[in-house]
Every structure is written in C-alpha cells, then in structure tokens.
Chain A
C-alpha cells in the first residue's frame, strides 16, 4: 500500500500508532482476516437463532390479545432494526472511504447495500404478514411500514447508482456521497412520516411496547436481535471477501495466493 509506506516513512511515530489501521485496510490482510472471522460469527449466529426460535416459538406464552400471531415479531423486529443499522454502517463505511481514501471501506459499503436491502424486504414481507391478522389488511399506511418502504427505495437508489458506473472508483465515491446524504435524511424521513400519519389517523396497535412485554417474551427477542447482528457480520465478511476478489483480480498477491492453494 502506498499510503502505508508514505505514512510510516514520513511520520514514524504516528505511523506505528496507526499501523494496525492501515494494515487492516490492506486488501490481502482484510481478505485473510474476514475469512478467519467468518465462522466465529456464523456458527454463534446459527446457535443463537435456534435458541431464540425455541424460546420464542415454544417457551413464550401466546399473547393475550394477539394469540400466536405475535410470534412473527421474532423475525420482524430484528430485521427492521438491522435494516436501519446496516444503512448506518454503510454510510459510516462510505464516509471513512471518502475521508481517508481507504478502498476497503468502500468495499464494505458496497457489500452492505444488498444485505440491507434484503433485511428491508424481509421486514416489509413479515410486516404485511403480521398486518393481515392484526389489522385485517396486507398493507396499512402505518408510519413504520411507510418509512421502511422509503428505506427500501433508498437502498435501491444506492445500488442503481453504483451499477450505473463502469469504473469502480467513481462508483465508490459517487455512491458514498449518496449514502451520506441519505443518512442525514433518514431521521427526517422517519419523523416526517410519523407526523404525517399521526394527523391522518389514530395511532395503530403498538407492536413493541417495551415496558409491557413479558420477560418470557422479551429474552428470545433480544437473543434473536443479537443473532441477526452476528449473522449480518458473517454475511458481510463473506461479501467483503468476494468484493476484494473482484476488485483485486489483477494483483500479484491474489495470483500468488491462488497458485498456492
């Protein structure tokens, strides 16, 4: 890496302090590290998912009002949380990529987008399945559903912008600006939609009233949330690896590595 050489060469003091950072950002190192970390996130995620599913589907008592239908929140709520979290991770990675010109950060941002899109789709699908018994319709112009739909549009716009550039570096930087503008706009969208709806109709059924939820229902939800986060990191490791392969396909280290294996 030229940046690594420059920093360590000119400023040895700050260089050694930041060396781990630049080492992390070097593609061969990141490729190896992501491969090493992947199983450590994936298998705990699977184990926790099984525990949470057992707790949520079998141990937790049915809701006094919603009966067994409420159990879909064990998929719905973590997916909704992740769809927002992934967008923030994506925007932070994109900002790091723009500010410090780290290519790996752009690779992380690019890998986040499809994962976030699928979490958003999962949220919308489970939300409308949840809505059918609760509200009697597949789709309700509820603030949460609507802002989630706008979230999906933001992800699709990000991916469409990336796809429209042939040059990866330009795609990286242009989409980074969109991600940053988007993340500033997400809270505005969120609150404007809530406000829009509150004037139109009375509040809908509150899906996740934290204080009123029984602990036997809550712990599987929290564990499922953790499992989703771990699963996201595992999938991210996988995607970042393939993103590095795609970007570095003409480099010496990769040819050497492939020749060895």
Chain B
C-alpha cells in the first residue's frame, strides 16, 4: 500500500521524534556545546560587557553554526549504520521527501532549541532586549539553511570513516553566506537600524535550499548507501 506524501512525512517525523525522546541526552548535547562555546569568548577576550556587546552577534552566530554542525553527526549516521536507510532507498517512496521530513524533524530538535536559547545567551553577552526578535528570527531562518546544507554534507560523508572532520570542511565554506546575512541582521538591529534586508535574503536562501536541497540530499544518500 502506498501512503500519501503527508502521511509519509508524518510517519518519518513521528519515528524520529520518538527516537529523540528516548535518547534525549543526545539532543541536549549540541545545546550545551552552544552555551559552552559562547562562554569561551568572555574568558578569552574580556569580561567587560561593552566590549562583548560589540562582538555578541558574531559570537552567537558562530557558536550556533558550530553547534548545528555538531548536531549533524546524529542526523543520518545511526540510520545508515543499522540499515534503516537502505530500506528507505528500496521502499519505492520518494527518498527526497523522506529526507526532507527527517531534516525538518532534526531542525525541530537541533535548530529550534538554539533559537530559544540564543536570546538568553545574547543577554549574557550584553545584547539589549529589543534585539531578541531579530536574533531569534535570523537564527530560525539561518538554522533551517544550515540544516539543509548540512544534510547534503552529512549524506555525502555518512559512508566515510572519520567523516565528521570532512563534513566540517565541506559544509562550512558553503554556509558562509548564511553566517554573513545572519550576523549582519543582528548587528543592524543592535545599532537600531532596520534588519529586514538581510532577513529577507536569509528567507530567500532558506526557500532556495529547502526546494532544491532535498534532491541533492537524496542523490548523495543513494551513493552513500549503495556499496
């Protein structure tokens, strides 16, 4: 029996959410990493809030980018290792839709907590409260981009031994535009200027990646699974 696309998406999402609840410690780890990395900057640079405020947008964004990179490790690897992914590729269902559903669920578990956590971390670095909406909005759009780009990289490297360093090497250069637009939006908001320009560009990037990325992801996954 062929389930409809929406049902397929729901099944994939339900399964991944259930797995995440049972291994909630793995879901928390990238978030803890995010907080630890942002703690390093005051220690390394200066405890003065005036100085930290200047670099806060960049610090939060770089830390979020690294945390999302770290979370990618658990995106496909367990399923490829236990053979689930092989069944998916053979199931006759559109692999791109299933991978998109999986990546979207992954974003809920890895991206959304960063979006919620960022204002708290930002405040600790001296960001005014007026910046919160822009910070959260830019991170919400940006982590969606990072999830898709990272998903392509993760699908390419999942069959490779010691793939995580390689993954960073592949994905980080591709993610630089997202970092530029995201950090710029927050920076503009901190100076009291309109941040809509970079946010629109981020939204455009997110649309581009969400619409084209799943096909690249599926093609990459087929290569990684067959061997």
Question: Which residues of A line the B interface, CB within 8 A?
Answer: 98, 150, 153-154, 156-157, 160-161, 164-165, 167, 170, 173-174, 177-178, 180-182, 184-185, 188-189, 192-193, 195-196, 199
Instruction: Give residues 166-192 of B contacting A (CB, 8 Å).
Output: 166, 169-170, 172-174, 176-177, 180-181, 184
Q: CA separation between A136 and B161, bound complex, in Å?
A: 45
Question: Which residues of B line the A interface, CB within 8 A?
Answer: 149, 152, 156-157, 159-161, 163, 166, 169-170, 172-174, 176-177, 180-181, 184, 201, 205, 212, 216, 219-220, 223-224, 227
Residue of B nearest to A182 (CB): B174
Partner of A181, one of B205, B216, B224, B227: B216
- Nearest chain B CB to A147's CB is how many angstroms away? 9
Which residues does chain A contribute within 8 Å of B170, judged by CB atoms? 157, 160-161, 178
Q: CA separation between A189 and B174, bound complex, in Å?
A: 8
Tell me if A177 and B174 are in contact (CB < 8 A): no
Tell me if A192 and B224 are in contact (CB < 8 A): no
- Nearest chain B CB to A116's CB is how many angstroms away? 14
Question: Are A164 and B163 also in contact (CB < 8 A) when A156-B169, A173-B223, A177-B219 are?
Answer: yes
Tell me if B216 and A180 are in contact (CB < 8 A): yes
- 30 A-B residue contacts at CB 8 Å? A98-B219, A153-B169, A153-B173, A154-B173, A157-B173, A160-B169, A161-B156, A161-B170, A164-B160, A164-B161, A164-B166, A170-B159, A170-B227, A173-B223, A174-B223, A174-B224, A177-B152, A177-B220, A180-B216, A181-B152, A185-B177, A188-B177, A188-B205, A189-B173, A189-B174, A193-B177, A193-B180, A195-B180, A196-B184, A199-B184
Which residues does chain A contribute within 8 Å of B173, judged by CB atoms? 150, 153-154, 157, 189
Which residues does chain B contribute within 8 Å of A161, judged by CB atoms? 156-157, 166, 170
Tell me if A196 and B223 are in contact (CB < 8 A): no
Q: CA separation between A161 and B201, bound complex, in Å?
A: 29
- Nearest chain B CB to A257's CB is how many angstroms away? 32
Tell me if B176 and A189 are in contact (CB < 8 A): yes
Q: CA separation between A182 and B184, bound complex, in Å?
A: 23
Partner of A192, one of B156, B163, B166, B180: B180
Which residues does chain A contribute within 8 Å of B201, judged by CB atoms? 192
**Which 10 residue pairs spanning A and B have beta carbons closest together?**
A192-B177, A153-B173, A157-B170, A196-B180, A164-B160, A192-B180, A188-B177, A173-B223, A157-B169, A177-B220
Which residues does chain B contribute within 8 Å of A98, judged by CB atoms? 219
The CB with the most chain A CB atoms within 10 A, among B172, B176, B184, B212, is that of B176
- Nearest chain B CB to A154's CB is how many angstroms away? 5
Which residues does chain A contribute within 8 Å of B161, judged by CB atoms? 164
Q: CA separation between A223 and B47, bound complex, in Å?
A: 57
Given contacts A189-B176, A199-B184, 13 further A-B pairs with CB under 8 A are A153-B169, A156-B169, A160-B169, A160-B170, A170-B159, A174-B223, A178-B156, A180-B216, A181-B216, A182-B174, A192-B181, A193-B177, A195-B180
Tell me if B220 and A174 are in contact (CB < 8 A): yes
Q: CA separation between A98 and B79, bound complex, in Å?
A: 26
Tell me if B156 and A174 are in contact (CB < 8 A): yes
Tell me if A153 and B172 are in contact (CB < 8 A): yes
Which residues does chain A contribute within 8 Å of B224, judged by CB atoms? 174
Tell me if B174 and A185 are in contact (CB < 8 A): yes
- Nearest chain B CB to A106's CB is how many angstroms away? 13
Q: CA separation between A199 and B176, bound complex, in Å?
A: 16
Q: CA separation between A195 and B181, bound complex, in Å?
A: 9
Question: Are A189 and B177 also in contact (CB < 8 A) when A156-B169, A178-B170, A181-B216 are?
Answer: yes
- Nearest chain A CB to B184's CB is how many angstroms away? 7
Tell me if A177 and B223 are in contact (CB < 8 A): yes
Q: CA separation between A174 and B170, bound complex, in Å?
A: 12
Q: CA separation between A105 and B184, bound complex, in Å?
A: 40
Tell me if B157 and A164 are in contact (CB < 8 A): yes
Which residues does chain B contribute within 8 Å of A165, judged by CB atoms? 160
The CB with the most chain A CB atoms within 10 A, among B156, B163, B205, is that of B156
The CB with the most chain B CB atoms within 10 A, among A165, A182, A192, A193, is that of A192
- Nearest chain A CB to B77's CB is how many angstroms away? 15
- Nearest chain A CB to B121's CB is how many angstroms away? 23
